[in-house]
Structures are given as C-alpha cells and as structure tokens.
Amino acid sequence: MAQQQPQTGPAGAAGHPDGPAAAPDLPPRVATVYGESDLATVPAFAGGFINFGYWAELGDLTGRVLTEADRVRSEQDLYRLVLGTFGEARGRGALEAGCGRGLGCALALREFGLDPVIGLDAHPDQIARARAAHAELLAGGAGSAGRLTFVLGAAQRMPLAAGTVDCLYSVEAVQHFRFPAAFALEAARVLRPGGRLALTTFFARTPKAARELPGLLPPYADGLDVPHVIDEFAGTLAAAGLRDVVVRPIGDAVWEGYDRYMAQQPELSDGWPRRYLTAYETGLLDYYLLTAVAPRRAGGQRAGASPGGAAASRGR
C-alpha cells in the first residue's frame, strides 16, 4: 500500500471547515481490496473501472460472445447514465465520491463538459493510481490546467468548503460507506444551493434481505460491503435536507449482462460472483440510480437528522 498522507484540499478550494483530517480510516478489507489486491485487475472488471456495468446500450446480448471491449463499454455506460441525469452540465463543477482510478472523472470532463472535476477517494493507492493514469491531463497540457484534481479523503468528511460543487456523483462506492448519514450531510453541505446529486450502486431491498445477504455473498460477510437498505438510504438523503429524492431500480440492465459476461470467463464461470444474479432474481438486492437536489438555501438539516424518516419517491 502507498504511504498514507494527510488529505489535502483541491487547489483553489478551502478544505473542510474543521481543517485537514488524518488519512481516512479504512475498514481492513476495503484497505486490502483496493490496496495490494487492486480489485480493478481481476477478470470480473476491465479497463481500470470497478463496477458491474450498465448493459442496456449494448443491445440484445442473447447468444453473443461478450468481449473485454463490451465490458469496458458497460462500465462507461453506467457513468453515462449517472452523468446524464445532470442535464446540460457544461462548465459546471463536479465531485465524484469513490473515484477509483478516475476514469469516470475523465469521462465526465471529456463527454459531459463538467469542469472542473474533482475525484475523491478514501484509499491512497487509488488516488496514486488515478494521478498516474491521468498524469498528462494533470500536468496541464492543452489547456487542461486545473480541470481535473484527485484528492484523498472520505465521503463522510469531504475536504471541501460548503457550497462549492454543482454536481456530486458516485458510482458503485456507497456499498462501502460505514456512515451513510454522514455522507448525506456532507453531500448537502458541499453542494451549491440547487446543486444535484446522482449516485448508483447495489442495495438490499428490505431489512430482512440485508440480514440474509452475508450468507450468500462473501463481500458482505468479510466486511468489504455493507448491505444498506434502499429505502433507509433514500430516507437518509432526505433527512440530510436533500430534496426531490428519486429512486430508480436499474437491475434489469445490470445483473443479467454482468452474469453473461461472468459465465463466459473460464476463471469466473462457476464462482460466487454469479450469485449476484441469484440475489437479484430472489428479490434480495437490486441496483439503483438515485438522484436528489440540494436545498435552495445552503446547509441541510444538521446533526441528529434521523435516517429513514423522510419521504422519497420511486421512479422507473
């Protein structure tokens, strides 16, 4: 693992109001998986991304041999789905929570015109990989100076001043968050009034499912992932002061495509990752896209906001 460094704020933005924090305290399994194990390099993922992918844009997958290029496309398309919720985004500033190698940040800059883009990740090795992967952009060639920054920091304590971000997004990282209420409060704090939040990942469908998932999927049992319950998480966003919280299940465009790809990988065809489709088909989990809007007046409801209390709506 790379040497732990204190987190620092991105250039031009004052940091967290309580000052710089020590390097994020990662759960041991999260530290290992994104440190020495470098999850992006396992055959389930491709192209440096680490997400299950959104497969709807690849067309009918029946009978088709899925290539590594298809896998990368699915991972990029998950980003496109999330970033597309922002509407016309050119010139608006964005923050990604849990950016991994920063490939989604570069896509946000390149395809959606979000500018500047800050990639935040709690693992120092991921930040080091992101900086290495985008060294040219970061060096400021071809007018790119200051448009992309990678910052070490936790989603539950973002090293940013209040009201500094237009668009906050996250792709397949929330399942690692131990403190979803703190993340929601931070999202409400760093977003400008009226700023937009969009995130996607997998959640337990019910509290009962959350209790059953560790028996089926090792990442819940070994401490990598937390089976957050979708309605409770949506309520946590609303309780933090975010409004217009919309929850959209997108599992029909995620799990089958991912499973088809797994089935075609010799080293993965009979492994436990294929149980995600079982968990989806038996109603234990689903993949969701959530969107919300920051309150018009800065500062959401602060400490003591009770998770699960406020209303959220479901969209399709």
**For ligand SAM, which residue of 112, 169, 177, 287 counts as binding (CB under 6 A)?**
177
Name the residue nearer to ligand SAM (CB basis): 157 or 313: 157
Encoding tokens for residue 305? Answer: 């906001």
**For ligand SAM, which residue of 71, 73, 92, 176 counts as binding (CB under 6 A)?**
176
Name the residue nearer to ligand SAM (CB basis): 126 or 301: 126
Is 181 one of the binding residues for ligand SAM (CB under 6 A)? no
Q: Could you give the string, one character per residue 126-165, with x where binding to ligand SAM holds by CB under 6 A and - elsewhere? A: x---------------------------xxx---------
**For ligand SAM, which residue of 83, 171, 245, 289 counts as binding (CB under 6 A)?**
171
Piece of 119-127, 204-212, 255-263, 266-274 that binds ligand SAM (CB under 6 A): 119-127
SS (H, E, C) the chain: CCCCCCCCCCCCCCCCCCCCCCCCCCCHHHHHHCCCCCHHHCCCCCCCCCCCCCCHHHCCCCCCCCCHHHHHHHHHHHHHHHHHCCCCCCCCCEEEECCCCCHHHHHHHHHHCCCCEEEEECCHHHHHHHHHHCHHHHHCHHHCCCCEEEEECECCECCCCCCCEEEEEEECCHHHCCCHHHHHHHHHHHEEEEEEEEEEEEEECCHHHHHHHHHHCHHHHCCCCCCCEHHHHHHHHHHCCCEEEEEEECHHHCHHHHHHHHHCCCCCCCCHHHHHHHHHHCCCEEEEEEEEECCCCCCCCCCCCCCCCCCCEECC
Is 124 one of the binding residues for ligand SAM (CB under 6 A)? no
Question: How many chain residues touch ligand SAM (CB under 6 A)?
Answer: 23
CB atoms within 10 A of CB 200: 26
Q: Could you give the string, one character per residue 80-109, with x where binding to ligand SAM holds by CB under 6 A and - elsewhere? A: -----------------xxxx---x-----
Piece of 135-143, 170-178, 221-229, 264-272 that binds ligand SAM (CB under 6 A): 170-178
Determine contact, residues 13/165, Cβ cutoff 8 Å: no
Name the residue nearer to ligand SAM (CB basis): 99 or 160: 99
Bridge partners of 157, per DSSP, are: 154
Distance separating alpha carbons of residues 273 and 253, to the nearest angstrom: 17
Name the residue nearer to ligand SAM (CB basis): 99 or 245: 99
Distance separating alpha carbons of residues 222 and 39, to the nearest angstrom: 15
Residue 96: CB minimum distance to ligand SAM, A: 7
Q: Could you give the string, one character per residue 37-76, with x where binding to ligand SAM holds by CB under 6 A and - elsewhere? A: ------------xxx-------------------------
Piece of 9-17, 122-130, 214-222, 305-313 that binds ligand SAM (CB under 6 A): 122-130
Residue 208: CB minimum distance to ligand SAM, A: 25
Name the residue nearer to ligand SAM (CB basis): 222 or 244: 222
In the complex, the residues that contact ligand SAM under the rule CB under 6 A are: 30, 34, 49-51, 97-100, 104, 120-123, 126, 154-156, 171-173, 176-177
